Amino acid sequence: MKQTKIVLSEKEIPKQWYNIMADMPNLPKPPLHPGTQQPIGPDDLSAIFPMALIEQEVSQERWIDIPEEVLDIYSLWRPAPLYRAHRLEKALGTPAKIYYKYEGVSPAGSHKPNTSIPQAFYNKKAGINKIATETGAGQWGCSMALAGSLFGLDVTVYMVKVSYNQKPYRRIMMETWGSAVHPSPSLLTQTGKKALDDDPDNPGSLGLAISEAVEDAATHDDTNYALGSVLNHVCLHQTIIGLEAKKQMEIAGDYPDIVIGCCGGGSNLAGIGFPYVQDKIAGKDVRVIAVEPASCPTLTKGDFRYDFGDVAGLTPYMMMYTLGHNFIPPGIHAGGLRYHADSQLVCQLYHDGLIEAKAYHQLTVFEAALQFANTESIIPAPETAHAIKAAIDEALICKEEGKEKTILFNLSGHGYFDLQAYTDYKEGKLSDYEYPEEKIKEALSQLPIIK
């Protein structure tokens, strides 16, 4: 009988995360303090992060131990299964072998708890009892709420207002795990009040919600901030995905020619991809592809330069491919991919040619999601469907060229709270947004000048 699922036992959960900074040919340029334009130090971050995470942010140790307490919680759903997509392969008529790692088995439904759990652990250990964070479509907010419930932390989530109104079930999930959820912009922060003064109907954005959460943490001694992507320590925690996948691919007797992940802030791509980029740096022939929306084409159309990570300019300047921190991407359904920039690590690797990037419009992405749902059965999150589309395209190229390549992608989350998006697609209410060139030009023209 052919094997479909490759599962590891709990004993085989990796005990260390992989830190790509130990192997990168060029490290990212340092984050800068916006006032002095000098590299920031640990003290600049200690108002909102615990020291253990600040150390991970700058560490160049190749392997970092995963604490026992974190492994214990990971074992609730990890190791995550790896699937061979026999049915999709057959439907495509491709000689390619397609594998996917399924992160939708976490209680929150995506890869995000891989980092919310350690972030909650290190904060609790540092004596912090309150966390402020933001969420776009709700995946990260749910993951932080879950972690807060497991470690006894009070979590406040600033949820982008349009999602707060459109996605009540994600909000209810967070509240069920004991978190307080506020629509952003809110009246709880100066940033929120200003945004509402300027426009009482402001629908919110991820960059604005980040500003509110950072302000909350920076103005309350007992509160820290947690971010669900972008930062080095977040990418580090996600590498458990690729490390498990490597063991599973070995059991399957295969090694991928192509590794694919959708890319919002970059942590999902880092998770599945960085352990393979390590091999690529060592000389192995493997392609790692980041997939993004054509309406928010950070890597494929952004500028590589210093920018803020949020709208209000509360974060340090980071060296990233960016569309400009004031750029508000069109309201596509893949809310988790609507971020103006990307992880500094992903950006540097892209700049150095160690990863590739592709962008797709949303209609073709939903078509791929439906093909996947009707072959492999899992209904994917709209974000994840970007990776599926790229995997299908690569498999079709193999068909054309008669090549039997091995393709691995990360199925970063299920789409069971995104069914409105599927309804809208079925009813023909979704459209492709043109690449918003003028808006991006305008946002880029407002970027800080670094002397």
Ligand X SMILES: Cc1ncc(COP(=O)(O)O)c(C=O)c1O
Q: Which residues bind ligand X (CB under 6 A)?
A: 110, 139-140, 229, 262-269, 336-337, 381, 383-384, 412-413
Q: Which is nearer to ligand X, 94 or 133 (CB)?
A: 133
Q: Which is nearer to ligand X, 134 or 393 (CB)?
A: 134
Q: Which is nearer to ligand X, 263 or 398 (CB)?
A: 263
Q: Which is nearer to ligand X, 54 or 346 (CB)?
A: 346
By Cβ distance, which residue is nearest to ligand X? Answer: 336
Min dist CB 162 to ligand X, Å, is 15
Q: Which is nearer to ligand X, 128 or 379 (CB)?
A: 379
Min dist CB 75 to ligand X, Å, is 22
Q: Which is nearer to ligand X, 49 or 102 (CB)?
A: 102
Min dist CB 142 to ligand X, Å, is 9
Min dist CB 253 to ligand X, Å, is 28
Q: Which is nearer to ligand X, 94 or 322 (CB)?
A: 322
Q: Which is nearer to ligand X, 245 or 263 (CB)?
A: 263
Min dist CB 38 to ligand X, Å, is 28
Min dist CB 230 to ligand X, Å, is 7
Min dist CB 239 to ligand X, Å, is 12
Alpha carbon distance 74, 181 (integer Å):
25
Min dist CB 237 to ligand X, Å, is 11
